[in-house]
Structure 1
């Protein structure tokens, strides 16, 4: 029977036992840990919503999709991933919505030998890289287009405010690596926690440093907090946001302060503006049309694209894996892992994937655009 099961379960932490003896299955089990509650819900909810539009079967084999909420907490994400391994016998794991819980999911996938599609950028160790591929655009690709825009607009000094976690570190380290050699000078670095409700102290320091531009290394609706605080304190310079903030919720939360923001984004946020030859245009239009028909105008989301794209990838790799192994077996999981790299030019809403053993993001410049907000709407940035 074709079915798409969406299950939300709270789980207790327990140790990861050895995998049971392999048993073939007549369905492919996909475990998904995302953040549908908590500070990252603005990311996890559209990721969950996009599952309305993914296939219920691939190559004639039914998909059993199990969705667990991790609330953005790495401990919960670890528990969810372990349940996928021990109880669900998952063939594939997706998740999570933000960087810290994604690291946790990847660790479990690596231990268990299960293919993992990450829905957030995260630092890859050699162990994680064997079983994980990353769907969101890597920070260096998105950072480069931001720094190039800064240079083109005579920015010389930059202030940074980002999360006090691994996502904030990714962007801070990338600025040091890419932007400083481009003669962009960092004059102040500030951090804040994801649940924080005020960044007044950090913003006062940024305003006092008077940089030409500010880069915000945050995601979801929390990215709007520095945006509004900077404008409330009278900061007039350019404000740059990462692709972690690319959603309509950012405009809703930031309100008038969102006007003029420069935001890196995946092409799913504006497929209508792409050339007909762009491989990302067709899947982007398909998702955005279906999503906005169900959830309302202007509800498209960068994050919906990530979970939707996971299934665009699986539509390519699962038929290849089925040629050599059956679902529910280690051989099938290994065949999927190998197919991640043997399949090329996998077109999706957010980019065209060409993974290798060394490149686990598999993306190029086709995966990025720059947006700004004008009159409450996203438009291409100049």
Structure 2
């Protein structure tokens, strides 16, 4: 009798895996992604939830091993992450083959028709970069130089910058790259400065994103500096110090939850979530990356009740139903924006998912 009761309890439990780069070159981001789980609910729709969090150390091969273990041994119902683009790219084929829904928490280019189990809680890079280029236009920028990571993420930001700049009539005068593990971007900055651009766009993330900023400041660059949504974090401000003052970046509403107007759709969810996080970890825990984890869970949570009407958690039928209901998401308000999905759009975010901020004396200030 006891064995039967334990089996039933185990089968009723919902298991959600999380693959996060907690250590390695993106550790500053990983802390934010992981912290959200400390305030996640222990039950969803009356069912016990187990969160299985593992660190891939920003190594795609480790991400693959972790994903295989989560699918084959832990029998997870869904995966949140990976939190790094290269790692998410590596895990995607495995999750789709096993029919395990994954809510990616890093910018990722994918085809939802070919990869039906892949979803994203992160704003598309083009959506965010377009807002920065629109700001450049307003400020009269005619030339812009690019300094970014020498990897897939750096390519995404560069491609989006070039496309938007070309459309806006802004000339892209340089394309300089550096590695996530580099300790300086001095040589890249020297090459950029000789071009005398009106603005510099940085396509990096986390604390390594401070390197071009610091070098530009040291070399006396007086133009505008722009940063993408992967750079906006307390760690960026702390490590960059006075050198990053004035940097204009794009991010989700959650970062400036307490500065948002009442008309902003995400103000309520963002405020509730951040107050819970701050109560646990303090004011330095305000992070867009924690918000991505939260929104991924909100998406899964909204899809679970209908999926449970179809099948029991822990089964392929449940995962299939979960995927189908994720795809039906409509006007779900998260901390980063509003999600509405379809068979051809597994993200569904719009202009409500972005705000412009500026680094001012160690804080991110909302720009009108």
Q: Does 1:161 find its partner at 2:142?
A: no
2:182 to 196, 201, 219: 196
Deviations 1:16-49 (A, max 9, x none): xxxxxxxx92111111110110011111111111
In structure 1, the residue corresponding to 2:173 is in which secondary structure?
Answer: strand
In structure 1, the residue corresponding to 2:80 is in which secondary structure?
Answer: strand
**Match of residue 245 from structure 1:** 231
What TM-score results when the alignment is normalised by the length of structure 1? 0.91
**Match of residue 220 from structure 1:** 206
**Match of residue 186 from structure 1:** 172
Alignment partners' CA distance in 2, 1:375 and 1:215: 21
Alignment partners' CA distance in 2, 1:180 and 1:252: 34
Q: Residues 27, 100 of structure 1: CA spacing in aligned structure 2 closer, same or farther, 3 A cutoff?
A: same
In structure 1, the residue corresponding to 2:74 is in which secondary structure?
Answer: coil
Deviations 1:78-120 (A, max 9, x none): 1111111111111101111221011112121112111000000
Q: Which runs of 5+ in 2 are unaligned?
A: 1-9
8 A Cα contact 2:45 2:305, kept in partner: yes
Q: Does 1:134 find its partner at 2:120?
A: yes
Alignment partners' CA distance in 2, 1:126 and 1:279: 26
What TM-score results when the alignment is normalised by the length of structure 2? 0.95
Spell out the pairing of 1:38-57 with structure 2 (5 A cutoff). Answer: 38-57=24-43
Q: Does 1:101 find its partner at 2:71?
A: no
**Match of residue 96 from structure 2:** 110
8 A Cα contact 2:95 2:102, kept in partner: yes
Alignment partners' CA distance in 2, 1:97 and 1:126: 19
User: How far is the alpha carbon of 1:273 from its aligned partner?
Assistant: 2.4
Q: Does 1:334 find its partner at 2:331?
A: no
8 A Cα contact 2:299 2:329, kept in partner: no
Q: Does 1:82 find its partner at 2:82?
A: no
Alignment partners' CA distance in 2, 1:128 and 1:95: 19
Q: Does 1:287 find its partner at 2:287?
A: no
**Match of residue 347 from structure 1:** 333
Q: Which runs of 5+ in 1 are unaligned?
A: 1-23
Residue correspondences, number: 359
8 A Cα contact 1:119 1:134, kept in partner: yes
Q: Does 1:316 find its partner at 2:316?
A: no
Q: Residues 355, 126 of structure 1: CA spacing in aligned structure 2 closer, same or farther, 3 A cutoff?
A: closer
8 A Cα contact 1:55 1:311, kept in partner: no
Alignment partners' CA distance in 2, 1:290 and 1:171: 32
Q: Does 1:170 find its partner at 2:156?
A: yes
**Match of residue 299 from structure 1:** 285
User: How far is the alpha carbon of 1:76 from its aligned partner?
Assistant: 0.6
User: How far is the alpha carbon of 1:275 from its aligned partner?
Assistant: 3.0
